[in-house]
Amino acid sequence: MSQSALIPSLHGRRILLGVTGGIAAYKAADLTRRLIEAGAEVQVVMTDSALHFVGDPTFQALSGKPVRHSLWDEAAEAAMGHIELARWPDLILVAPATANFIAKLAHGAADDLLSTLCLATDKPIAVAPAMNRLMWANAATQSNVATLTARSIAVLGPGAGYQACGEIGEGRMREPLDLRANVAELLSSGPLKGVHAVVTAGPTREPLDPVRFLSNRSSGKQGYAVAAALRDQGASVTLISGPTNLSTPAGVTRIDIESAADMLKAALAASRDAQIFVAAAAVADYRAASIAGQKIKKNDAELTLPLARTDDVLATVRKAYPQLFVVGFAAETEKLEEHARGKLQRKNLDMIAANWVGAGRAFDQDDNSLQVFWPDGGEALAPATKAEVARGLVALIIRQRAAKK
């Protein structure tokens, strides 16, 4: 079972990273990389003194954009003037922010590009202070920081510990991964903010012998789209996936499994602190009663393989966590509503999303349509891309979950 690191989603978010002149400027290079890794677009603006600590090619290579540092760079201003640049980001993050820069911000100075941008923007601003402990403790700095806080500028840190000057105390820049988490928190919004959602997706593989398995045609596309749609509404999402060819949606934590038994174990563990569970996986209903230790050899006779039932992941998770909002899927070739409602009731679900399957329908297609049922109602989601259908389903989950509470 492998698990990708928990990377918050900053997909499509624009961050203007201001780098001012402190030794922690080198850490801003890692921060740039980490923000990009989470899906953000990063425009770096350096002050003149920052350029004494790190060269701009480093930031240009990491961010993929030319670094801006001057108000008087005619070519850069022609491409995007500083007023336009001030409107561009979703967030301005100044990291590291020196005592001098914090003072300038507190007093509304606009004597270089970065301070001008901070004054000319209506976007949220965050600063990550980095300075010697005595400079941080100084009453002037503390009063400037209080001014920033009163103006709703987020002050992230500083941390405490060894300082580049050899002293120990408060004033270190917060670590890049912590700053990235702070940025995600500052930018996160949506009705599912603070909600953990677990989604199962894809097929399972039930081994018969060391080289063979039973599986099905599920591509995982609908489940992956549901995971991305939940993320887009602010949820933190764990995706428990059987083997697929899909890439992990940005910002989603993916746990890879093979068998139904693995999926059950992962689902029970991940759902412990979850509020929403969506079972989009096509879990095998049967597994080999016993897995052959060696490759099964052919002979002239017919082969009969004894099969045993797998555990029902969805029903087991529902029983284990009665508080969860639980959504199942149903794939039907006939009597769709009757069969889907039967499953809704039998497995004690909050909602079930049913689709027609058969030749050319649903499996491995990019489009889908769903009929969604809950105990006292239902709604159809018209044929559309799996991403659009997923957005529709998540909107229904949000609505029905609110109605249930």
Q: Which residues bind ligand CTP (CB under 6 A)?
A: 200, 260, 279, 281, 283, 285, 310, 312-314, 328-331, 343
Nearer Cβ to ligand CTP (116/215): 215
Beta strands per DSSP E along 265-311:
276-279, 286-288, 307-309
Shortest reach from residue 285's CB to ligand CTP, in Å: 6
Shortest reach from residue 226's CB to ligand CTP, in Å: 11
Handedness of CA 318, 322, 328, 332 (dihedral sign): positive
| Residue 300 CB coordination number (10 Å) | 4
Nearer Cβ to ligand CTP (95/266): 266
Q: How far is CA 126 from the centre of its chain?
A: 21
Nearer Cβ to ligand CTP (300/338): 338
Catalytic residue among 165, 289, 308, 320: 165
Closest C-alpha to 182, from 338, 38, 295: 38
Nearer Cβ to ligand CTP (21/242): 242
Shortest reach from residue 283's CB to ligand CTP, in Å: 3
Residue pair 48/19 in contact (Cβ under 8 Å)? The answer is no
Q: How far is CA 315 from the centre of its chain?
A: 27
Nearer Cβ to ligand CTP (77/332): 332
Closest C-alpha to 372, from 352, 386, 356: 352
231 contact partners, CB below 8 Å, separation of at least 6: 9, 11, 237, 249, 251, 252
User: Can you read off the two tokens belonging to residue 369?
Assistant: 């349509």
Shortest reach from residue 361's CB to ligand CTP, in Å: 13
User: Can you read off the two tokens belonging to residue 91?
Assistant: 């967030």
Query: Any idea what DSSP says for residue 176?
Result: H
d(CA 374, CA 190): 23
Beta-strand relationship, 196-201 and 236-241? parallel
165 is catalytic: yes
Shortest reach from residue 201's CB to ligand CTP, in Å: 9
**Catalytic annotation, residues:** 165
